[in-house]
């Protein structure tokens, strides 16, 4: 059975088509608006393809190459800056480029100012795409902000400054620094960090405990500047200008302040969506047209997707969009508007939260209602404290109490473990079924007379669930071997036929933990070390996940009182759940672990990392400098920088985790039944 591979491009297209179908159905008969919105989404798809090839395409030839970057500084962080790239120079040849690049600076960057034109020398890197299912990947996250590459450098030179008469970016940068300094001077600690998050969406100073408390209590959205913040801001500006403006003049003032606030919040996707919706409503009111929240959210989504299609995969944007759509469609299902809005938002965002954060929390149903009034007060008082000099003397004690109460509420509900369920990142079929269920809820509660739709939707849902059940039964006795994605294959995850969880590795235990976390694995039946390892990181894994048995070569020392330790000798074989493992030492610091499951063998070559071959099929795990793949059906490696494999004449299929992400082989007694890649090759 073929595996499903979802890529950013495919997800963008699916999301766009889904929204497009919704729009066509919702606005049937309103030809003018329909034509406009449908046209926008068609442009969005074309724009997405254009951005992929015109931006990423500009950087691909220079990946892992030493180049000179010339660009304009658009954002400054403590240890990095973002530059709008003008050109890339390699071997004295100058190439034009678009988009932004992050410069991670080793030395002090205090001399760099906004709008400076700078040059930077170093190796250019592209961000990693989706490494495995459940993790979007840093490439999508940064691409949603318009950043397509990064460079680690200590060689930066300032060659000029681009002055502008009206510079919104510079003003926003100065205003952000002023707000941060003002709050830090009056409110240190988590209380001040929370107020900064509410005002401008800045979460840099959040402690680990505060982030975890907000995640478990379902309150992460209050520091993602979005619709609530824009509404409060509009009310504040409207009241402040009511003494000297009216009518269209007031609308112009509000419009200018909204645009300024977008820049102040550093163009976060969620605030862009909310601001465009607000502007849409403002324009409709002033030209005496009917305001339609559904059309507003679809129009804002279309416009943002045209500007940057990768916003469609930004987690903050997806949560903001889903929550708002839920409030629009289901917000009136109860007599209590605030409770109804909270429930609707929770229902629509639950699948995304499950996929991205591996939790389903019911605490949000209660905390959102308790926190919302406090957020309004904190936002208004924080805004006044930042604008009015010395007002912090009077307002900071009040703000401290408000933010402290919010923190206590978050920690209280986070401590109620029964309100939070840990889950594995849902597979595509489950995600589709989840949103079909949500559509069923919408029909039952809102469109009660449309019985034909209800029956059709229920039929589709039933067929998908039957497919999922049959697929589960067919693959019940299969073993899964997953090569965790990266430039070097140094970790293998095995799920045996009896559901034993086994890890083979020697390094990158933090990355292995994140992979296991996405699969909601809390217990490892066996961990097999293949070399000297970073014991601190291995202890990190042991603290997070229960390890029953640890298999180590005789040259490795690991003190663990909470698991059984077995020392395997050179050329020794051992069996775990009917899978035979063979350990072969390489010198005094490395070992190859070969294993056989059913009739399929996996042979690893630990020269510069893992690599595979398969047997009835043989999978050969080969290092990047391996020249002979032996006689294998498949060869798996990390990244290939030169054609080193002699595979053509041996009919060996070559797979690289750097190009495909994590690669999973499903195996039964007949051999390899399925190969599932996280993404298609670039």
Q: What is the pLDDT of residues 575-592, one digit of tens each?
A: 998 898 988 877 667 778
Rounded CA-CA distance 569/62 in Å is: 45
d(CA 616, CA 668): 11
Using DSSP, state whether 325 is helix, strand or coil: helix
> What's the pLDDT tens digit per position in 327-370?
888 766 665 566 677 778 888 888 888 888 888 888 887 887 88
* Helices marked H in 217-312: 227-240, 247-264, 269-286, 293-307
C-alpha separations of 63 from 148, 151, 417, 549 in Å: 11, 10, 45, 41
- Spatial separation of the C-alpha atoms in residues 674 and 480, rounded to whole Å: 10
Contacts of 470 (CB under 8 A, 6+ apart): none
Q: What is the pLDDT of residues 293-333, one digit of tens each?
A: 777 787 787 778 777 777 777 888 888 888 888 888 876 66
CA distance 541 to 514: 10
The stretches of 508-574 forming alpha helices (DSSP H) are: 509-518, 535-544
Instruction: Indicate whether 15 pLDDT > 70.
Output: no
Q: CA-based Rg of the chain, rounded to a whole angstrom?
A: 27
Determine which of 134-138, 198-202, 241-245, 670-674 has the lowest per-residue pLDDT on average.
241-245
- As a whole number, mean pLDDT of residues 421-447 equals 84
* Least confident segment among 63-72, 236-245, 255-264, 604-613: 604-613
pLDDT at 336: 55
Q: Which among 106, 71, 103, 64 is positioned nearest to 85, based on CA atoms?
A: 71
What's the confidence (pLDDT) of residue 681? 57
- H helices of 446-499, in order, are 451-474
As beta bridge partners, residue 550 has 527, 565
Q: Could you tell me if 261 and 200 are in contact, meaning their C-beta atoms sit under 8 angstroms apart?
A: no
Q: How far is 562 from 549, CA to CA, in rounded Å?
A: 9
Tens digit of pLDDT for each residue in 626-653? Answer: 444 455 677 787 765 444 444 444 567 7
C-alpha to C-alpha distance for 27 and 25, rounded to whole angstroms: 6
Give me the percent of the chain exceeding a pLDDT of 70.
Answer: 79
Bridge pairing between strands 600-604 and 590-597: antiparallel
Give the confidence band of 428 by pLDDT, cuts at 50, 70, 90.
confident
- Is the CB of residue 614 less than 8 Å from the CB of residue 600? yes
Cβ atoms of 134 and 182 closer than 8 Å: no
**Inter-CA distances, 319 with 261, 334, 423, 488, 676, Å:** 20, 22, 18, 33, 28
Residue-wise over 21-44: b if at least 16 C-beta within 10 A, else e?
Answer: eebeebbeeeeebeeebeebbeeb
- 53 membership: H or E segment, kind and range: none
Encode pLDDT of 275-294 as tens digits: 888 888 787 777 766 667 77
Model confidence at 621, pLDDT cuts 50, 70, 90, reads low
Q: Is the pLDDT of residue 615 over 50?
A: no
For residue 669, pLDDT over 80 is answered with yes
> Mean pLDDT in the chain?
78
d(CA 437, CA 445) in angstroms, rounded, equals: 12
Q: Burial of 179 by CB count in 10 Å (0-12 exposed, 13-18 middle, 19+ buried)?
A: buried
Are 355 and 426 in contact by the 8 Å Cβ rule? The answer is yes
Q: What is the rounded CA–CA span in Å between residue 406 and residue 400?
A: 10
Provide CATH code, domain 59-161.
2.40.50.140
d(CA 388, CA 382): 10
Cα separation, 517 vs 501, in Å, equals 13
Q: What CATH superfamily classification does 480-677 receive? A: Ribonuclease Z/Hydroxyacylglutathione hydrolase-like (3.60.15.10)
- Please determine, for residue 17, whether its predicted confidence score (pLDDT) is greater than 70: no
Q: How confident is the model at residue 40, as a pLDDT? A: 60
User: Residue 628: what pLDDT?
Assistant: 46
DSSP percent split of the chain into helix, strand, coil, nearest 5: 50, 25, 30
Percent of the chain with pLDDT over 90: 12
DSSP-derived letter for residue 34 is H
């Amino acid at each position: 059975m073929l595996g499903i591979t979802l890529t950013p491009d495919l997800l963008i297209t699916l999301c766009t088509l889904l929204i497009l179908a919704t729009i066509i159905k919702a606005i049937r008969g309103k030809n003018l608006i329909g034509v406009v919105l449908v046209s926008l989404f068609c442009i969005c798809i074309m724009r997405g393809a254009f951005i992929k090839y015109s931006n990423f395409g500009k950087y691909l030839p220079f990946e892992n190459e030493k180049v000179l970057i010339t660009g304009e500084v658009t954002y400054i962080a403590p240890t990095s800056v973002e530059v709008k790239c003008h050109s890339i120079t390699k071997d004295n040849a100058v190439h034009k480029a678009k988009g932004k690049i992050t410069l991670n600076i080793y030395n002090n960057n205090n001399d760099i100012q906004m709008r400076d034109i700078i040059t930077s020398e170093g190796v250019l890197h592209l961000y990693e795409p989706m490494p495995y299912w459940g993790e979007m990947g840093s490439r999508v996250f940064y691409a949603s902000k318009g950043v397509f590459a990064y460079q680690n450098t200590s060689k930066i030179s300032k060659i000029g400054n681009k002055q502008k008469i009206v510079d919104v970016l510079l003003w926003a940068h100065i205003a952000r620094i002023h707000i941060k300094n003002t709050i830090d001077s009056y409110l240190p600690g988590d209380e001040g960090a929370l107020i900064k998050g509410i005002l401008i969406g800045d979460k840099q100073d959040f402690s680990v405990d505060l982030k975890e408390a907000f995640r478990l209590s379902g309150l992460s959205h209050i520091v993602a500047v979005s619709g609530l913040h824009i509404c409060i801001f509009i009310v504040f500006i409207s009241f402040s200008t009511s003494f000297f403006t009216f009518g269209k003049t007031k609308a112009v003032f509000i419009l200018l302040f909204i645009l300024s606030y977008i820049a102040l919040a550093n163009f976060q996707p969620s605030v862009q969506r909310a601001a465009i919706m607000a502007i849409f409503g403002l324009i409709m009111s002033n030209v005496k047209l009917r305001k339609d929240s559904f059309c507003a959210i679809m129009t804002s989504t279309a416009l943002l997707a045209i500007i940057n299609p990768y916003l469609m995969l930004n987690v903050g944007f997806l949560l903001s969009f889903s929550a708002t759509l839920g409030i629009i469609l289901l917000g009136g299902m109860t007599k209590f508007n605030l409770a109804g809005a909270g429930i609707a938002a929770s229902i629509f965002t639950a699948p995304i939260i499950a996929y991205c954060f591996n939790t389903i929390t019911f605490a949000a149903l209660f905390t959102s209602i308790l926190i919302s009034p406090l957020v309004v007060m904190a936002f208004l008082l924080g805004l006044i404290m930042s604008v009015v000099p010395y007002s912090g003397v009077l307002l900071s004690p009040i703000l401290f109490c408000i933010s402290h109460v919010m923190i206590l509420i978050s920690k209280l509900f986070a401590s109620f473990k029964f309100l939070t369920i840990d889950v594995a990142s849902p597979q595509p079929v489950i995600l589709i079924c989840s949103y079909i269920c949500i559509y069923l809820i919408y029909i039952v509660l809102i469109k009660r007379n449309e019985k034909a739709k209800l029956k059709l939707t229920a039929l589709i849902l039933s067929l998908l669930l039957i497919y999922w059940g049959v697929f589960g039964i067919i693959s019940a006795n299969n073993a899964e071997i997953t090569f965790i994605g990266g430039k070097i294959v140094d970790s293998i995850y095995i799920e045996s036929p009896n559901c034993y969880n086994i890890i083979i590795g020697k390094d990158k235990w933090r990355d292995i933990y994140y992979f296991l976390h996405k699969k909601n694995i809390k217990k490892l039946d066996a961990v097999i070390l293949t070399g000297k390892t970073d014991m601190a990181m291995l202890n990190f894994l042991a603290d997070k996940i229960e390890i029953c048995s640890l298999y180590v070569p005789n040259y490795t020392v690991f003190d663990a009182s909470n698991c059984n330790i077995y020392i395997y000798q050179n050329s020794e074989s051992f069996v775990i759940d009917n899978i035979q493992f063979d350990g072969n030492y390489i010198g005094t610091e490395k070992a190859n672990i070969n294993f056989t499951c059913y009739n399929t063998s996996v042979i690893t070559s630990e020269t510069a990392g893992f690599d595979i071959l398969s047997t009835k099929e043989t999978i050969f795990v080969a290092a990047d400098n391996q020249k002979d793949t032996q006689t294998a059906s498949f060869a798996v490696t990390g990244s290939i920088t030169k054609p080193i494999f002699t595979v053509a004449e041996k009919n060996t299929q070559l797979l690289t985790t750097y190009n495909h992400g994590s690669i999973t082989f499903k195996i039964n007694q007949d051999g390899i039944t399925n190969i599932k890649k996280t993404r298609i090759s670039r």
